C-alpha cells in the first residue's frame, strides 16, 4: 500500500512538473483549474508512515513549485484595519462553461445577455470547483442561488488554513531532509502567515474564523464546517484553550452539532450539494481531527462523539443501502445518502471510506458498539440507536475490558467485518483526490 501511495504521489509530481500545479482532474480540460492544495499534506502523511526521506528529498523542489503556484496565481491583497496583507482565494483562469457540465453552465446563463457577465459566472463556477465545495451558499452573493456565484470575491478560511499548514509541513520536511535554512525560512513564513490569518478571518464577537468577502468587505458569519479547518491544520496560536472552547460552544448554539447523522455542510438549505442537509466525509473528518488535536479535554471528547456519530450513521446507511456514499443527508431520524446539486449521488466512495477507516483506527481503543446488529435490527431511529448503544456501553461491565481488544482484531464485531475490506484502500482513500470521478 505504501508503494501505491508513492506511485500516486509520483503521478501528481509529474503533473506539477509538466503543468505547474495539480489540475482538478486528469483530463486536458482541467488544465485551468487546480485541486485544493493537498499534495504537501499527502507527502507529509506518506513520510510519517514510511520515513522515506530520500523520496521526500527528491520531490521537495516540486512541492515548492506547487506551493509557488498558489503564491503566484491565487494570492490577492486585502486591506484590513490599516494594513494590506496577502491571502489566498480560488481563482480559475477558465471563463468558459465547464466541459463536463456544459449543459448546466449554459442553462445557468440563459437569461444573461452580457457576454462579460456570462464569462464572470463561468469563471466563478470553475473557481468554486477548485475548492471541492462545488457548489455551496458560501460562494453565492445572496447565499441561496447559484446564479449569484461570486467565488473570486470570497477569501475562504479553509484554503488559507491549508496553505498555512502547508508552510509548517514544508518546514518540517526540509528539516528532516537536513536543509536547515529552508526549514527556518518556511517556519518563519508559517509564523507570519498565522498572524495574517488571524487578522483576516477571526471575528471576536462571533467567536470564530469566517470567510471574508472582498466585495462587501465583511465576513460571512453563517456556520460552515470549514471554519474548523484552522484547528485541523494548527493555524492558530493566540487562542487559549478557553477561547477555542468558546468557539465550539458558539457553533453548538448555532445548531451545528445537533444532527444525529453528522455535521452538515452548512445550516442553509439550498438545492446545492454542499449545503444543508448534506454532510461530507472530509468535512466531518477534519472537524473531528481539528477538535481532537486541541489541548482541551472537553473538545477532545466532543471530537470522539462526532466521530462516533459519523461512523454509526454511515454504517446505518450502509446496512440499509449496501453502499457507502460520497455524501449523506444528516438530518432527521433516518440518515440516508445525500442528494442535490447537478448529478446523482455517487456510491463508493474514496474519501468516505478513507475517513471511516481513519476514525476507526484513531479510536480503535474506544469505539466499541456492543450488540450493534441487534440494536440496529430493531429498526430504531438513529437517535434511539445511539442512545441505546450508549446505555449498553455504560452498563456493560465487560465493556471496559473489551476496550483492550483492538477493533481491527476482533472479527466478532460486525461493524469491523463489514468495513474490513475497505481497510485495503485506506491509505489511498485518505487522499482527497478524484481523478477518475
- The set of cell numbers assigned to 253 is 448554539
Residue 210 corresponds to which cell in the numbers above?
469566517
- DSSP letter (8 states) at residue 348: E
* Under rule CB under 6 A, residue 100 binds ligand LLGJG24Q: yes
Among 76, 101, 319, 362, binds ligand LLGJG24Q (CB under 6 A): 101
The answer to whether 353 touches 394, Cβ cutoff 8 Å, is no
- 346-365 binders of ligand LLGJG24Q (CB under 6 A): none
What single-letter DSSP state applies at residue 293?
T
Grid cell digits, residue 134: 462545488
Three-state secondary structure call for residue 365 = coil
For residue 280, the minimal CB distance to ligand LLGJG24Q (Å) is 8
Q: Which of 105, 134, 308, 358 binds ligand LLGJG24Q (CB under 6 A)?
A: 134
Specify the residue, 98 or 189, whose C-beta has the smaller distance to ligand LLGJG24Q: 98
Does 329 bind ligand LLGJG24Q (CB under 6 A)? Our answer is no
Residue matched to cell numbers 462587501:
216
CA atoms in the 13 A half-sphere facing the CB of 133: 29
Cell of 154: 470570497
> Which is nearer to ligand LLGJG24Q, 224 or 369 (by Cβ)?
224
Site for ligand LLGJG24Q in 9-38 (CB under 6 A): 24-25
CB of 338 to ligand LLGJG24Q, least distance (A): 11
Q: How far is the CB of 223 from ligand LLGJG24Q (least distance, A)?
A: 19
What residues are annotated to the active site? 134, 326
CB of 24 to ligand LLGJG24Q, least distance (A): 5
- 98 lies in the site for ligand LLGJG24Q, by CB under 6 A: yes
DSSP letter for 69, please.
Answer: H
Nearer to ligand LLGJG24Q by C-beta: 139 or 363? 139
Distance CA 73, CA 93 (A): 9
Q: Of 202, 362, 371, 352, which is closest to residue 281 (Cα–Cα)? A: 352
- Provide, rounded to whole angstroms, the least separation between the CB of residue 140 and ligand LLGJG24Q: 15
Residue 104 found at the interface with ligand LLGJG24Q (CB under 6 A): no
137-159 burial, b at 16+ Cβ within 10 Å, e below that, comes to bbbbbebeebeebbbbbbbbbbb
Q: Tell me, what DSSP letter sits at residue 344?
A: P
64 binds ligand LLGJG24Q (CB under 6 A): no
Q: How far is the CB of 402 from ligand LLGJG24Q (least distance, A)?
A: 36
- Interface with ligand LLGJG24Q: number of residues (CB under 6 A): 11
Q: Which is nearer to ligand LLGJG24Q, 132 or 165 (CB)?
A: 132
Partners of 142 in the β-ladder:
none
The residue from 37, 41, 97, 132 that contacts ligand LLGJG24Q (CB under 6 A) is 132
Q: Using CB under 6 A, which of the segments 127-135, 231-239, 240-248, 293-301 binds ligand LLGJG24Q?
A: 127-135
* φ/ψ (deg, to 5) at 80: -135, 130
Q: Rounded to an integer, what distance in angstroms lies between the CA atom of residue 261 and that of residue 164? A: 30
Q: Closest by alpha carbon to 320, among 401, 377, 264, 370?
A: 377
Give the cell for residue 384: 434511539
285 near ligand LLGJG24Q, judged by CB under 6 A: no
Where on the chain is the footprint of ligand LLGJG24Q (CB under 6 A)?
24-25, 98, 100-101, 129, 132, 134, 326, 434, 437
Amino acid at each position: 500500500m505504501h508503494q501505491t501511495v508513492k506511485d500516486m504521489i509520483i503521478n501528481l509530481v509529474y503533473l506539477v512538473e509538466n503543468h505547474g500545479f495539480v489540475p482538478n482532474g486528469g483530463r486536458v480540460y482541467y488544465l485551468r483549474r487546480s485541486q485544493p492544495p493537498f499534495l504537501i499534506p499527502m507527502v507529509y502523511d506518506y513520510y510519517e508512515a514510511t520515513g522515506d526521506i530520500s523520496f521526500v528529498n527528491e520531490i521537495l523542489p516540486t512541492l515548492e513549485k506547487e506551493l509557488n503556484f498558489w503564491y503566484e496565481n491565487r494570492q490577492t491583497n486585502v486591506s484590513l484595519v490599516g494594513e494590506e496583507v496577502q491571502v489566498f482565494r480560488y481563482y480559475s483562469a477558465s471563463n468558459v462553461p465547464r466541459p463536463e457540465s456544459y449543459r448546466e453552465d449554459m442553462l445557468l446563463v440563459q437569461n444573461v445577455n452580457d457576454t462579460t457577465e456570462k464569462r464572470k459566472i463561468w469563471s466563478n463556477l470553475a473557481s468554486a470547483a477548485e475548492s471541492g465545495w462545488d457548489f455551496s451558499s458560501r460562494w453565492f452573493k445572496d447565499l441561496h442561488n447559484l446564479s449569484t456565484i461570486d467565488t473570486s470575491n470570497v477569501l475562504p478560511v479553509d484554503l488559507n488554513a491549508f496553505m498555512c499548514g502547508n508552510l509548517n509541513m514544508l518546514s518540517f520536511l526540509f528539516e528532516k531532509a537536513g536543509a536547515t535554512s529552508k526549514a527556518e525560512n518556511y517556519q518563519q513564513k508559517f509564523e507570519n502567515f498565522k498572524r495574517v490569518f488571524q487578522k483576516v478571518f477571526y471575528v471576536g464577537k462571533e467567536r470564530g474564523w469566517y470567510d471574508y468577502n472582498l466585495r462587501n468587505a465583511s465576513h460571512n458569519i453563517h456556520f460552515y464546517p470549514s471554519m474548523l479547518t484552522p484547528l485541523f491544520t494548527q493555524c492558530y496560536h493566540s487562542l487559549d484553550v478557553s477561547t477555542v472552547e468558546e468557539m465550539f460552544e458558539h457553533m453548538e448554539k448555532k445548531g451545528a452539532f445537533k444532527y444525529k447523522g453528522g455535521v452538515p455542510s452548512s445550516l442553509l438549505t439550498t438545492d446545492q450539494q454542499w449545503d444543508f442537509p448534506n454532510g461530507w466525509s472530509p468535512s466531518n473528518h477534519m472537524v473531528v481531527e481539528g477538535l481532537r488535536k486541541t489541548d482541551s479535554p472537553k473538545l477532545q471528547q466532543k471530537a470522539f462523539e462526532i466521530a462516533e456519530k459519523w461512523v454509526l450513521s454511515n454504517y446505518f446507511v450502509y446496512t440499509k443501502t449496501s453502499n457507502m456514499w460520497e455524501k449523506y443527508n444528516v438530518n432527521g431520524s433516518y440518515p440516508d445518502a445525500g442528494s442535490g446539486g447537478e448529478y446523482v449521488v455517487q456510491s463508493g466512495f474514496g474519501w468516505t471510506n478513507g475517513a471511516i477507516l481513519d476514525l476507526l483506527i484513531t479510536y480503535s481503543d474506544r469505539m466499541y458498539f456492543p450488540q450493534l446488529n441487534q440494536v440496529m435490527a430493531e429498526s430504531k431511529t438513529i437517535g434511539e440507536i445511539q442512545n441505546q448503544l450508549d446505555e449498553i456501553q455504560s452498563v456493560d461491565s465487560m465493556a471496559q475490558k473489551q476496550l483492550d481488544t483492538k477493533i481491527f482484531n476482533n472479527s466478532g464485531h460486525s461493524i469491523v467485518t463489514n468495513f474490513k475490506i475497505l481497510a485495503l484502500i485506506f491509505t489511498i482513500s485518505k487522499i482527497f483526490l478524484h481523478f477518475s470521478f
